[in-house]
Amino acid sequence: MKGVKELERNLRRLGNRADHVLGSALYEEGERIMGQSKDIVPVRFGVLRSSGKVDLPQKIAGIIKVILSYGGAAAGYAIYVHENLTARHKPPTRAKYLEEPFKRAQAGLLGRLAQRIRREWR
């Protein structure tokens, strides 16, 4: 809870810049996660890896969101490869190529966001 309270306090201090700063911090975090994901996404022809993207921040119903995804022309393939735990992949590639980096990023996420926001506040 300490991290959440610090984050909220720093966002209040930013006033009307808070949405932009938080969106930028979330986008940075998304790019970091996507970079780790692209290191382990299975590659056969490169279409799946090249489809990975981080959308720009959006504020929807008062919530700032950054969406990470794979797909486009490879959408059906992306889901199949991500969820198929029995398929063999050349290490370090593997299934759950987006889920795993996302789960790892949860540790320390609030601290990293608070640090980025603190940097802007100063």
pLDDT digits (tens, 9 = 90+) for 6-65: 778 877 888 888 899 999 999 999 999 999 999 999 998 888 999 999 999 999 999 999
- What is the enclosing helix (H) or strand (E) of 11? helix 2-14
Number of domains the chain contains: 1
**Res. 74 pLDDT band, cuts 50 70 90:** confident
Q: Angle at Cα 107 formed by Cα 28 and Cα 40, nearest 5°?
A: 65
Domain that holds residue 71: 2-121
> Is 94 within 8 Å of 42 (Cβ atoms)?
yes
Q: Angle at Cα 32 formed by Cα 28 and Cα 34, nearest 5°?
A: 115
The structure tokens listed for 56 are 């720009």
**Res. 122 pLDDT band, cuts 50 70 90:** low
Burial class (CB in 10 A: 0-12, 13-18, 19+), 23: middle
Cross-strand pairs, 65: 58
Query: Is the pLDDT score of 1 beyond 60?
Result: no
The alpha carbon of residue 67 and the mean position of all alpha carbons in its chain are separated, in whole angstroms, by 7
pTM of the model: 0.88
**Res. 105 pLDDT band, cuts 50 70 90:** very high
Query: Is the pLDDT score of 72 beyond 50?
Result: yes
